Amino acid sequence: MSAVYIARATTVAARALDGEMMIMSAKDSTLFTLNPVATVIWQAADGQTPLVDIVEKKVCAEFDVAPAEALQDAEKFVGDLANHGVLLVSKEPIAAAKPVAGAKP
């Protein structure tokens, strides 16, 4: 299977509140609240790291979950957010991702 790269869309607004990551989809005005696993994926979506590496090196390192199961869940999550224009998905590395909310420039 070819690598999949994901990047945070530059047009969305995201805020970390009370330990929850909230993301506003400007495309359809949907507000998402991410769970801790989804937050890790969102924060790692730099457009340069393949999704499979994010799952193996970030998700599986922080949470007690099997890689295959985690990847399956991650692909579904990524697909959902991509449909709302919140994440960009490509088979090639993606140039610019939105900075992580709260990160210093």
* Residue of 6, 7, 8, 12 that binds other proteins (CB under 8 A): 12
CB 96 within 8 A of CB 47: yes
Residue 3 in the binding site for other proteins (CB under 8 A): no
Beta carbon of residue 4, minimum distance to other proteins (angstroms, whole number): 24
- Nearest one of 42, 34, 40, 2 to 18, comparing CA atoms: 34
* Residue of 22, 60, 89, 94 that binds other proteins (CB under 8 A): 22
Burial 64-95 (b: 16+ CB within 10 A, else e): eeeeeebbebbeebbeebeebebbbbeeeebe
Residue 96 in the binding site for other proteins (CB under 8 A): no
Residue 95 in the binding site for other proteins (CB under 8 A): no
* CA dist., res. 63 & res. 11, Å (int): 29
Q: Which part of the chain contacts other proteins (CB under 8 A), choosing from 14-22, 54-62, 68-76, 88-96?
A: 14-22
Return residues touching other proteins (CB under 8 A).
11-13, 15, 17-18, 20, 22, 24, 26-29, 31, 33
